[in-house]
């Protein structure tokens, strides 16, 4: 499966958890190499099966990135999420609550 196909495939309508993993990577940005945070979104369904949902780098470090990622997940079929495990970022938590009304946020360390 290609990365393009991964970001377009249909997802389960309910996820028990979305786990967001943060990794620091070196990228070329504005004509120089710098460290940026790469985020991997892993979904866990009711049967405990894990699937990669999406991924991305928040170049501008703004709330719009998080809102777009959660909207992308919703467009692909996820209607409800029980928990979201996130690094300690308030803008990410607010965006998750806008996308999934009753989601419970848990900080991951």
Radius of gyration of the chain (CA): 14
pTM metric for this prediction: 0.85
Kindly report, residue by residue over 53-69, the tens digit of the pLDDT: 999 998 887 888 999 99
- Is the pLDDT score of 42 beyond 70? yes
Helices (H), the chain: 3-6, 63-75, 90-99
- Return the pLDDT at 62: 80
Q: How many Å apart are CA 95 and CA 93, to the nearest integer?
A: 5
- Return the pLDDT at 9: 85
CB contact at 8 A, 83 and 106? yes
Instruction: Report how many domains make up the chain.
Output: 1
Range of the domain at 47: 3-107
Q: What is the 3-state secondary structure (H, E, C) of 47-66?
A: CCCEEEEEEEECCCCCHHHH
Q: If pLDDT is split at 50, 70 and 90, which confidence band does 92 have?
A: confident
Q: What is the CATH number for 56?
A: 3.30.420
């Amino acid at each position: 499966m290609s990365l393009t196909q991964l970001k377009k495939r249909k997802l389960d309508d309910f996820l028990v958890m979305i786990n967001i993993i943060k990794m620091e990577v070196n990228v070329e940005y504005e004509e120089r190499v710098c460290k940026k945070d790469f985020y991997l979104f892993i979904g866990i369904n009711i049967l405990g099966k894990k699937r990669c949902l999406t991924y991305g780098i928040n170049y501008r470090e703004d709330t719009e990135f998080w809102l777009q990622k959660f909207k992308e997940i919703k467009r692909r079929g996820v209607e409800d999420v029980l928990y979201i495990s996130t690094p300690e970022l308030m803008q990410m938590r607010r965006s998750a609550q806008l996308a999934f009304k009753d989601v419970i946020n848990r900080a991951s360390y």
